Amino acid sequence: MKNVLRITLPREIEQGAIIVNLNGQLEGPDAVQIKERLSDVLTAYPQDCTINIPNNTSIDLGGLNSLIQLQRIQSANGTNLKIVSKRDSHVTKYIKLAGLDRHIQLQYA
């Protein structure tokens, strides 16, 4: 499945949050590319960020590493990173298995 990354910036940056809709894979080189694009946005606009990840998205160690890096950027900015996914999705399972749910807020769709 081809990766599609849509980033929505708030109309009023001071009061909004960045919304990211990800469809595709959070794996390998794709995960690195997504992390780089999001890193630029999160650095330029230090706001809370919500990443919506559908149930059919796959993830690997590269994807988990990308989420860790994005969380570090958010932490340095004093902002939060939230992942919205289904409770039984691969992404949710791997985030919990890696213990990242202690650092990244999970919300179930």
How far is the CA of 45 from the CAs of 10, 17, 38, 87, in angstroms?
Answer: 10, 9, 10, 29
Quick one: which of 37, 49, 42, 28 has its CA closest to 4?
37
Q: Indicate the SS3 state at residue 89.
A: coil
d(CA 62, CA 41): 20
pLDDT number for residue 30: 86
How many distinct structural domains can be found in the chain? 1
Residue bearing the bigger pLDDT, 14 or 93: 93
pLDDT number for residue 69: 93
∠ at Cα 22 (1, 81), nearest 5°?
Answer: 150
pLDDT digits over 57-93, tens only? 888 999 999 999 999 999 999 999 999 999 999 889 9
Range of the domain at 33: 4-108
pLDDT digits over 17-59, tens only? 888 888 878 888 888 888 998 999 899 888 899 999 888 788 8
| CATH assignment at residue 86 | 3.30.750.24
The DSSP bridge pattern shows strands 17-23 and 4-8 to be antiparallel
